[in-house]
């Protein structure tokens, strides 16, 4: 029951954030910025620890977010993150944002592909990946990109439980296996 209540709470916050961003006319930008912020929290243990530290007051946590995002994110994004923190839901922030991305994709009748690459994708590359993944899955796919320094080259795309690994590392491993079997 607790897991179901938590999931409903997370979904409720996600829907509220979605509604605010949509009403402000900034849904696409806010969604992308929130997604990037959630991935930063996921990668950076010190940031995650600061945001979830019960001894740190909410206003200090908001200041951390403001210092980190500054001009890199819209005020809407910063305010929405601050709202979640003030509500005492910093521990659920990543899940709330993931749920918001899902809500937005559902509204657009898309599936979300998290794509990891060594460097930022250009708009042209993102569109080409969306088309290729849509053809491969038979679904309308929306790409959310994450820069991941562990990816040497190529990309890894995750859609739900399905992984498309086109990284240089994987290709080299496949060549090694092929050569080893000869």
Instruction: Compute the mean pLDDT over every residue in the chain, rounded to the nearest whole number.
Output: 89
Output the pLDDT for position 108.
84
What CATH architecture does domain 1-108 belong to? Orthogonal Bundle (1.10)
Decide: helix, strand or coil at residue 88: coil
What's the token pair of residue 5? 């209540």
Digit-coded pLDDT (tens) for 95-121: 999 899 888 888 888 888 999 999 999
Number of H helices, E strands in the chain: 8, 4
Q: Which residue, 120, 169, 113, 118, is CA-closest to 148?
A: 118
Share of the chain above pLDDT 70, in %: 99
- 53: phi then psi, degrees, rounded to nearest 5: -70, 115
pLDDT for 176 beyond 90? no
Output the pLDDT for position 1.
58
Mean local confidence (pLDDT), 143-149: 89
pLDDT for 93 beyond 70? yes
Mean local confidence (pLDDT), 144-155: 89
Output the pLDDT for position 85.
92
Digit-coded pLDDT (tens) for 33-91: 998 899 889 889 999 999 999 999 999 999 999 998 888 899 999 999 999 999 999 99
Output the pLDDT for position 26.
87
Q: Point out which residues pair with 145 in neighbouring strands.
A: 115
């Amino acid at each position: 029951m607790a897991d179901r209540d938590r999931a409903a709470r997370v979904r409720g916050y996600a829907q509220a954030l979605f509604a605010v961003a949509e009403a402000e006319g900034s849904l696409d930008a806010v969604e992308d910025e929130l997604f990037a912020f959630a991935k930063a929290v996921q990668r950076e243990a010190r940031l995650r620890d600061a945001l979830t530290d019960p001894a740190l007051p909410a206003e200090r946590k908001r200041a951390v977010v403001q210092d980190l995002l500054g001009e890199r994110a819209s005020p809407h994004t910063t305010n929405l993150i601050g709202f979640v923190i003030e509500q005492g839901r910093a521990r659920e922030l990543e899940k709330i944002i993931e749920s918001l991305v899902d809500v937005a994709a559902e509204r657009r009748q898309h599936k979300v592909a998290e794509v990891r690459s060594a460097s930022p994708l250009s708009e042209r590359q993102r569109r080409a990946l969306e088309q290729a993944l849509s053809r491969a899955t038979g679904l309308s796919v929306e790409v959310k990109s994450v820069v991941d320094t562990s990816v040497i080259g190529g990309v890894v795309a995750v859609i739900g439980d399905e992984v498309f690994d086109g990284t240089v590392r994987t290709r080299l491993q496949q060549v090694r296996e092929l050569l080893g079997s000869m």
